[in-house]
Amino acid sequence: MRKIVLTFGFIAGAVMSGMFIVTLPLLEKIGDVNGALLGYTTMVIAFLMVFFGVRSYRDNVGGGRVSFKRAFSVGLLITLVASACYVATWEVVYFKFMPDFGDKYAAHAIEAVQKSGASAEQIAKTTKAMNEWKENYKNPFFNMAETLMEPFPVGLLFTLIAAGVMSRKRRDEAVS
C-alpha cells in the first residue's frame, strides 16, 4: 500500500506544485479569479490520481476487490501526500521568495472593499481583520494550516467518490 500511496500522491503533488510554480509569476496578468480557476482545475486534474491509486490498490493488492474503508484509507493517504507537497511548495515560495505576500494580499483585499463603496466602518473592520490575518500568516503553522485548506477538500471529495465507485460490487457479481 505504501508504494501505491507514495507513487500516486507524489504524482498528484508534483502536478499541483508544478502548475503552481509555473503560474505564480503570471498571476498579475491573469488575475485573481482566473488564477483561482486555473489552480482548482489543476487540483481536479491532479486528484484524478486518487482514483487511479485506489484502482491500482484494488487490482494489484486486493485481487479485484476493495472495501469502502480500505479504498477511503488509500485515497485519503494519497490526498494527504499530494496536499503536503502543495503546502511544502508554498512554504518555500512564501518564506524564501515572497515574504511580502501577506502585505500585498491584505492591501488588495482592503482596496477591493474601498472600491466597492463600503462604509468607513466596514473598511475599518476589514482593515483590522486583514492586519490580524497578516500577523497570523507569518506563523508557519497557521500558514500551513490555511494553505492545506486549499487542496485538501478537493482531494477529500475525490477520495469519497473513488472509494464509493471502487468498493461497489460489480453488477455481474451481484446477479450470480
Model confidence at 25: pLDDT above 60: yes
Residue 9 grid coordinates: 500522491
Give residue 131's pLDDT. Answer: 92
Report if residue 116 sits inside a domain.
Answer: no
Confidence of residue 7 (pLDDT cuts 50, 70, 90): very high
Report if residue 24 sits inside a domain.
Answer: yes
Report if residue 122 sits inside a domain.
Answer: no
Give residue 170's pLDDT. Answer: 54
Give residue 172's pLDDT. Answer: 42
Mean pLDDT within 69-92: 97
Rounded CA-CA distance 137/91 in Å is 11
Q: Which domain holds residue 68?
A: 2-98+148-175
Q: What is the pTM of this model?
A: 0.86
Q: Please write the tens of the pLDDT for every residue from 93-130.
A: 999 988 888 888 888 888 888 888 888 899 899 999 99
> Which class for 6: exposed (0-12), middle (13-18), buried (19 or more C-beta within 10 A)?
middle
Report if residue 93 sits inside a domain.
Answer: yes
Report if residue 53 sits inside a domain.
Answer: yes
- CA-nearest of 169, 168, 17, 159 to 76 is 159
Report if residue 75 sits inside a domain.
Answer: yes
Give residue 176's pLDDT. Answer: 47
Model confidence at 175: pLDDT above 50: no
Report if residue 87 sits inside a domain.
Answer: yes
Report if residue 109 sits inside a domain.
Answer: no
Number of domains composing the chain: 1
